[in-house]
């Protein structure tokens, strides 16, 4: 138990569906992250939020839309996804973004399958 929870753990959706992934951290951290983990590829950073402001967007397609309503919650809204978007989506948090405080705590992930 890392203090970071993600729901749902598994999600199957069609290409025309709209769904949302939720992440919650109970650690009092100020930075939160979304990562994509695909088979045989390194972990890809998607979005970074620091103090509820988006500070990084790594050229992620607009069909992925993040939202950070407060420092404890992070959402990833999904719409009109493609089959190649099937992956494990991991959420993480850290105290802040400075390297000395950037030990990230990961949630268990949401396994997404797009049909």
Partner 1 sequence: AQSVTQPDIHITVSEGASLELRCNYSYGATPYLFWYVQSPGQGLQLLLKYFSGDTLVQGIKGFEAEFKRSQSSFNLRKPSVHWSDAAEYFCVLTDSWGKLQFGAGTQVVVTP
Pick the closer one to partner 1 by CB: 77 or 103.
103
Residue 99 backbone phi and psi in degrees, to 5 = -50, -40
Pick the closer one to partner 1 by CB: 78 or 94.
94
Min dist CB 80 to partner 1, Å, is: 27
Pick the closer one to partner 1 by CB: 63 or 97.
97
With 0-12 / 13-18 / 19 or more C-beta atoms within 10 angstroms meaning exposed / middle / buried, residue 86 is: middle
The two three-digit tokens of residue 46, written as one number: 């998607």
| Interface residues toward partner 1, by CB under 8 A | 2, 4, 6, 31, 41-43, 45, 48, 56, 90, 92, 94, 96-100, 102-109
Min dist CB 57 to partner 1, Å, is: 12
Min dist CB 91 to partner 1, Å, is: 8
| Strand ranges for the chain from DSSP E | 4-7, 10-13, 18-25, 31-37, 44-50, 53-57, 64-70, 73-79, 87-94, 105-106, 110-114
């Amino acid at each position: 138990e890392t203090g970071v929870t993600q729901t749902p753990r598994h999600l199957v959706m069609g290409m025309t569906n709209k769904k949302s992934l939720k992440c919650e951290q109970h650690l009092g951290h100020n930075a939160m992250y979304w990562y994509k983990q695909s088979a045989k590829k390194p972990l890809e950073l998607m979005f970074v939020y620091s103090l509820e402001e988006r500070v990084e967007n790594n050229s992620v397609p607009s069909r992925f839309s993040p939202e950070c309503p407060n420092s404890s919650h992070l959402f990833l809204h999904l719409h009109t996804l493609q089959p190649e978007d099937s992956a494990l989506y991991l959420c993480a948090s850290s105290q802040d973004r400075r390297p000395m405080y950037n030990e990230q705590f990961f949630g268990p992930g949401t396994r997404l399958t797009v049909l």
